[in-house]
Amino acid sequence: MTANLSETLTLLLVEDDDGDAFIVEELLKQADAPPRIFWARSLEEARAKLTPEIQCVLVDLSLPDAHGLEALREVLALAPHTAVLVLTGLRDSHVGVAAVQAGAQDFLVKGDIDARLLARSIRYAMERKRADVAQLRLMQAELTAKENSRLESALLPGALLHTEAIEHVTRYLPGSGGTLAGDFFDTVQTPDGSVHVVVGDVCGHGPDEAALGVALRIAWRTLVLAGQTGDTLLRTLDALLRAERKAPEIFTTLCMATIAPDLGSAGMRVVGHPPPVLVRDGVVQVVEGTPSGPPLGIFGDAEWSVIDVQLGEEWAMMLYTDGLIEAAVGERDELLGVEGLLDLVREHGTIDLDRLIARAGTLADDLAVVLVRRRSR
């Protein structure tokens, strides 16, 4: 009966004994679809022949330049995503068991091999490897999801508000790559009744940037609760950014607003960040005079001017990261931009975050949004 290898495979045989190599090749020729076989007599030769097209490695554990599990570890290091089948001598079957424990998918004793057993072992070894890789990816995805969840809870806290005169809505969405970035936001009301809001964006993507965003967000809340605002707060955040960032080119943009206790005006600092959107008495516009200074982490002597904004009796203010205006819209996937964002708000007649984000298009970057609205009396 012929061996059952239903697809043409590409194998690498690492064997220094010509006779044993000949036997393996002859047995595999009996398969329904005989595989392509590359032969290496040593680990040194195997390194050159172990290309991505190799689907399974058959390796003898007695080689001129490696012996026992050392040879296996070398092969596993060279081909971490390839199935490995170990060949042992009659007296070394115990080594085969140790090889499986060390990472091989299976082992065969040379004296007990026939064509059917060899073909089946190769097929099973490949299936086990696929299952191992899939399980590893699943575990990594679960760990990443847990880490992202932990970071998101620190990046996106609940607002500290003790007034019912303010409606507060937030949204956060990851970009198309699904990788957590350093977008963050926070809202704190201090004992004097002032409402402080911040939205920030650490450049780059990944856990390091997200962790830096967490540090900046917590520092911002701590400073606000301690009574520090304005340039003093920004200089402290700038110093923290420089101390914690992994590379000197990392910078952070942010927008923060301090709404007066009577809710009729606000002082804003737009730190290299997209301009906030205001809706006052039905008029939709961006805050004029932005930005008020450069991003954090670029200039050591930077200053940021205050933008005074009269809010009036009925108003809504939206602070957001650039993931919103960099969303791809239309058939040509053009960037939404600030003007496009204003058009969407005017079209809706109000700021409805869910409708706005749904209409914005495909997100290429993370998106963080805070909407603060004065409730109707």
CATH code assigned at 209: 3.60.40.10
Average pLDDT of the chain?
Answer: 87
Number of H helices, E strands in the chain: 9, 19
The reply to whether 5 falls in a domain is no
**In the chain, how many domains are there?**
2
Residues 285 and 345 in one domain: yes
Which tens digit of pLDDT belongs to each residue from 79-135?
A: 888 999 988 875 666 777 888 888 898 888 887 888 888 888 898 888 888 888 888
Cβ atoms of 359 and 344 within 8 Å: the answer is yes
Residues 187 and 332 in one domain: yes
The reply to whether 149 falls in a domain is no
Give mean pLDDT, residues 295-315: 92
pLDDT bin (cut points 50, 70, 90) of residue 221 is very high
Residues 314 and 192 in one domain: yes
Domain that holds residue 334: 156-374
Q: Which amino acid is present at 59?
A: V
Strands 36-40 and 10-14 turn out to be parallel
The reply to whether 151 falls in a domain is no
SS3 261: coil
pLDDT score of 328 more than 80: no
The reply to whether 150 falls in a domain is no
The reply to whether 146 falls in a domain is no
Residues 188 and 326 in one domain: yes
Give mean pLDDT, residues 294-311: 93
pLDDT at residue number 154: 62
Residues 131 and 167 in one domain: no
CATH code assigned at 57: 3.40.50.2300
Give mean pLDDT, residues 183-211: 92
Residues 220 and 125 in one domain: no
The reply to whether 143 falls in a domain is no
Residues 132 and 160 in one domain: no
Give mean pLDDT, residues 190-207: 92
pLDDT at residue number 92: 65
Which of 101, 136, 171 is where one domain is finished? 136
pLDDT score of 5 more than 90: no
Residues 126 and 26 in one domain: yes
Which of 105, 136, 167 is where one domain is finished? 136
pLDDT bin (cut points 50, 70, 90) of residue 7 is low
The reply to whether 142 falls in a domain is no
Give mean pLDDT, residues 49-65: 89
Residues 286 and 340 in one domain: yes
Residues 217 and 327 in one domain: yes
The reply to whether 253 falls in a domain is yes
Residues 171 and 319 in one domain: yes
Residues 75 and 177 in one domain: no
